[in-house]
Amino acid sequence: MNQRPSTVGLTKLLQGLVEKGVLEQKGQRRWAFYQLPPLPEELLHKEGDSAHLAGDSTHLAKDSTRLRVDSTHLISDSEQPVGDTDSANLSNIALPARQKKKLQKAEMERIILALCTGRYLTARAVGELLERNPNGLRDRYLRPMTADGRLGLRYPEDPNRPD
């Protein structure tokens, strides 16, 4: 019979690794996560030290056909600069939702998809653009649209991440 390990045992194991300096703990209680500490400076490659690298890049594909079709590889809205043009474009996309407080579900989903195309937006950012409560958007639209594959998470391995 396949038994699940106890959370208490795993927690003690992880805390022991933190005490030994093998892992670093971030957060507390059920929000705690563990990561490797940064490498010591002497182990990092120095500029000009590239003997381990291939001589050229001829082995790389010449086009982007190997890239994914979706936008899950794009950087988030908090990391990409939003210029006046992009900000105005997002505002224009969201205008129907701001003008009319009651929209058909399909229309709201269309607007959300248009806002998120090519960029990651937090629920809070979508809420500000649409002038809607981000928690309500998350429950009614964002989670179902993510579950059925119309939206993608920036960090799929950490679905509860707040950004």
Residue 100 forms part of a structural domain: yes
One digit per residue, the tens of pLDDT, for the chain of length 163 reads: 556 667 778 888 888 888 988 888 888 877 888 888 887 776 665 655 555 555 566 666 555 555 555 544 444 444 444 455 678 889 899 999 999 989 999 999 999 999 998 888 889 999 999 999 999 999 999 999 999 999 988 888 887 877 6
pTM of the predicted protein model: 0.49
Q: How many domains does the chain have?
A: 2
Per-state percent for the chain, helix, strand, coil, to nearest 5: 40, 5, 55
Residue 60 forms part of a structural domain: no
pLDDT of residue 81: 42
One domain for residues 30 and 85: no
Residue 94 forms part of a structural domain: yes
One domain for residues 32 and 88: no
One domain for residues 159 and 106: yes
One domain for residues 19 and 77: no
One domain for residues 11 and 82: no
pLDDT of residue 61: 58
One domain for residues 146 and 90: yes
pLDDT of residue 84: 53
Residue 65 forms part of a structural domain: no
- Which domain, by its residues, includes 11? 7-36
pLDDT of residue 130: 94
Residue 57 forms part of a structural domain: no
160's tokens: 């509860």
One domain for residues 85 and 17: no
One domain for residues 75 and 25: no
Residue 58 forms part of a structural domain: no
